[in-house]
Amino acid sequence: MLVAGTCLAADPEPDKEQARRIAEQFVAGKQAAGGNPQEGHEAGDVVVADLDNDGEAEIVVLWTLYGPTYWHHGVAVLAKQGSRYAPAGETQDALGLVEGMKVAGGVIELKTKWPAANDPRCCPSIAKTLRYRWSGGALTPVK
């Protein structure tokens, strides 16, 4: 699935508004492909960064799938392919409750919460930081 987005040669990196539109188109594609009318997808944090130092900016999208009684988060990297950005990789890891995302030095950092033994499903209480590096077309955990 290609994601529509323009990025002119004179402007090698999309601005924040363009990146948000591209991310929302990506999430709309996930929604259309999902097949369950009770589920909804939403783009959360969107960051533009050159993750692999190749001179081309990638768009990192933190997204959420909402179901009737469940939710989960995902992180996707959209890379420039010709004049468009297209999905280039996603983490398949469980991410817990993601409270925020930042990207620095090619590392995607997620601030998360995980459930303790007696936590209700809604309210995890154990803070964890997850880190991923984009390399070789894949998101890999950083220890």
What are the sequence ranges of the domains in the chain? Answer: 16-141
- The 3-state DSSP class for residue 57 equals coil
Q: Of 14, 24, 106, 114, which is closest to residue 64 (Cα–Cα)? A: 24
Print pLDDT tens along the chain (143 aa).
545 554 444 446 899 999 999 999 999 999 899 888 899 999 999 999 999 888 899 999 999 999 998 889 999 999 999 889 999 999 978 899 999 999 999 999 999 999 999 999 888 999 999 999 998 788 999 98
Output the CA–CA distances (angstroms, integers) from residue 106 to 24, 29, 114, 121, 130, in the order listed: 23, 26, 25, 33, 14
pTM, rounded to two decimals? 0.86
